[in-house]
Amino acid sequence: MKKKKRVTMQDIADALGVSKVTVSKALNDKDGVGPELKEDILQTAEAFGYQLTKKNIEDVKEPKNIVIFLDHKYFSEDTKAYFYVKMYHMIAKYLSEMGFIGTLSTVNPMDHGKELEKTLESQNTDGIIILGNLEEEFLMKVRQVNLPRVFVDYYDEWCNTDCVLSENIYSTYEITKHLLNYGHHAIGFVGSITVTQSISDRYLGYSRALMERKIGIRQDWIIEDRDFHNEAIDFHLPEAMPTAFVCNCDETAYRFIKTLNQKGYQVPDDVSIVSFDNDIYAEISEPKLTTVAVDIEGIARTTVKLIKRKVKQLPSYTKAVSMVNGKIIFRDSVAKK
């Protein structure tokens, strides 16, 4: 006589078109399932002859919840900066594929770190991902939280934890060399060097390329693009202009080209421009930008692998700073000198 197949939670889930976790919650009378759906699950389980045992309960574990913190300004109506939003969606996608839940929490500097406390109190949190540069007051509270965490596009020198960064120095060195190889020797830099780590690193790459050619760096060709709070400011052009500029990001390059046009300069005929990120600004800029493309997928994959290892406390896990390489996308913003 053929042995009868044992009914599983997955069988019930498939029959009703719901997840195995939802079935587990209903059968174990846990929160998170509506009364009508719970009744459907119980009736289906009974009809299938399902037997609830201790092993059944242990077989299904709640998915891990990872909270992703991001500055609220990237979701405001007046911004076109999709870089971090795209990064968030990619991280959330890979978390889902790993069986984790990615929960977004936007941070307002005026909250003074209260958003972190509120988020951790209101839900079960198994790990934290910090996306981008956030206010120091918020970061101080993050350092006090005893949870697995990974920083993305930010290196916390005061906290012994993992960071995933786009490789900035060598990539900017390479794109500055592209200008040098096109005959440009008078090259400026657009970016407030001390405001973010990314800008500092990109400035180092720019400086290294010039130093190799024994070209001095003129301070009047270093142009600020933002204030200490990371908010955009107006550009002030030097009296004697270089023939090219390295911009720290595409958004800055996009704004800078508009300023150049207003002052009577054309890109690339009068001034060549290169930048970093390969986000929407690289495409909508006129002309389109030659830029370093950040590998967003690679950063997201690396981030999710690290947080998974930390949450699951795998033996192979070690703390690290992970660098993800980018590549130059050649477009129309550079002309030969």
Give the start-to-end residue ranges of the domains of the chain.
9-59, 65-166+296-325, 169-294
Same CATH topology for 9-59 and 169-294: the answer is no
CA distance 138 to 154: 14
Q: What is the mean pLDDT of the chain?
A: 87
Summarize the confidence of residues 302-322 as an average pLDDT: 80
Summarize the confidence of residues 45-62 as an average pLDDT: 66
Question: How many Cα atoms within 13 Å fall on the side-chain side of residue 182?
Answer: 24
Q: Which amino acid is at 319?
A: K
- Decide if pLDDT at 316 tops 80: no
Strand partners, 329: 291
Please give the angle made by the CA atoms of 123, 125 and 127, to the nearest 5 degrees. 160
Contacts of 272 (CB under 8 A, 6+ apart): 179, 182, 184, 243, 244, 245, 333, 334, 335, 337
What's the residue count for the chain? 337
pLDDT of residue 329: 98
If one compares 25 and 202, the residue with the highest pLDDT of the two is: 202
pLDDT of residue 56: 57
pLDDT of residue 318: 61
**169-294: in CATH 3.40.50.2300:** yes
- Decide if pLDDT at 37 tops 80: yes
Summarize the confidence of residues 224-236 as an average pLDDT: 93
Superfamily of domain covering 9-59: lambda repressor-like DNA-binding domains (1.10.260.40)
* Lowest mean pLDDT segment, chosen from 65-74, 75-84, 252-261, 281-290: 75-84
* Cα dihedral 112→118→119→120 (10° resolution): 110
Given a contact cutoff of 8 angstroms between Cβ atoms, the answer to whether 180 and 213 are in contact is yes
Given a contact cutoff of 8 angstroms between Cβ atoms, the answer to whether 87 and 151 are in contact is no
CA distance 206 to 122: 45
> What residue spans of the chain are helical by DSSP H?
9-16, 20-27, 35-48, 54-59, 83-97, 114-122, 136-143, 169-181, 197-212, 250-262, 280-284, 296-312
Residue 4: which pLDDT band, with cuts at 50, 70 and 90? low
CA distance 201 to 168: 6
Burial-class residue 111 by CB neighbours within 10 Å (0-12, 13-18, 19+). middle
Architecture of domain 65-166+296-325: 3-Layer(aba) Sandwich (3.40)
Question: Could you tell me how many helices (H) and strands (E) the chain has, helices first?
Answer: 12, 12
Structure tokens at 13: 């889930």
